[in-house]
A and B are shown apart, each in its own frame.
Chain A
Amino acid sequence: EDQVTQSPEALRLQEGESSSLNCSYTVSGLRGLFWYRQDPGKGPEFLFTLYSAGEEKEKERLKATLTKKESFLHITAPKPEDSATYLCAVQAIRTNAGKSTFGDGTTLTVKP
């Protein structure tokens, strides 16, 4: 069974204080690992897809990296508008491409 564990559960940062969110996964053959951002009361919004260990992707203050066991979402010099819940999800090669397993998320709060 595929498993995704995110840590920490909640993270409070001062504006400009860089940090990382962790997503540990157990999957028999990774098809893809996904990061989403979710604002309160809204549906998740896509950020990144990573496919293989060593891959990195960047978008503004966010950078996602992938190893064989975990992914990190690095937030550089965060701003209050980066406050949200960040979700990690995996798809396994052995299952249909429509099947996804999500972690519980990390709720990030950035104080001005």
Chain B
Amino acid sequence: EAQVTQNPRYLITVTGKKLTVTCSQNMNHEYMSWYRQDPGLGLRQIYYSMNVEVTDKGDVPEGYKVSRKEKRNFPLILESPSPNQTSLYFCASTLAGTGNEQFFGPGTRLTVL
């Protein structure tokens, strides 16, 4: 089954404790993205990657890091999480080219205390 998986699905942590949210896709897509979704602010793109070792900032990259060492994986790293990073996070993947749909993962709900 074609899918994007994220782990963990739920995470409660404390300020400053480094964490990684994993994202994996099995569709051989070139593009992958991370978004955060907050009430009243919609979906905002954090980082995206157009292929292995090629990443670029989205609209809200501060406080986040990403890496793309393999085509199928695109982890999101919060080196020193803060309460304002409490949010619902989505990973997405897309086949390269114009107009192709993004396939979204199920989401990771992160709470930083």
Q: Which residues of A contact B (CB under 8 A)?
A: 31-32, 34, 36, 41-46, 49, 51, 87, 89, 91, 96-105
CB neighbours (8 Å) of B101 from chain A are: 34, 46, 49
Closest to B59 in A: A101
Neighbour of B48 across the interface among A34, A46, A96, CB < 8 A: A96
Binding site secondary structure of chain B: strand
**If the complex has contacts A42-B107, A43-B106, A87-B43, are A99 and B99 also in contact, measured as CB distance less than 8 A?**
no
Closest to B49 in A: A98
CB neighbours (8 Å) of B50 from chain A are: 96-98
Knowing that A98-B50, A100-B33 touch, tell me 11 more A-B residue pairs with CB under 8 angstroms.
A32-B99, A43-B90, A43-B104, A43-B105, A45-B104, A89-B43, A96-B50, A97-B96, A97-B98, A100-B102, A102-B43
List, sorted by A's number, 18 A–B pairs whose CB atoms are closer than 8 Å: A32-B99, A41-B107, A44-B43, A49-B99, A87-B43, A96-B56, A98-B31, A98-B48, A98-B50, A99-B48, A99-B56, A99-B58, A100-B33, A101-B59, A102-B35, A103-B42, A104-B40, A104-B41
Per-position binary interface string of chain B over residues 34-51, scored 1 when its CB falls under 8 Å from any chain A CB and 0 otherwise? 010000111111001110
Contact across chains for B48 and A44 when beta carbons are under 8 A apart:
no
CB neighbours (8 Å) of B56 from chain A are: 96, 98-99
CB neighbours (8 Å) of B97 from chain A are: 97
Neighbour of A98 across the interface among B33, B41, B43, B107, CB < 8 A: B33
CB neighbours (8 Å) of A89 from chain B are: 43
B29-85 with Cβ < 8 A to chain A: 31, 33, 35, 40-45, 48-50, 56, 58-59
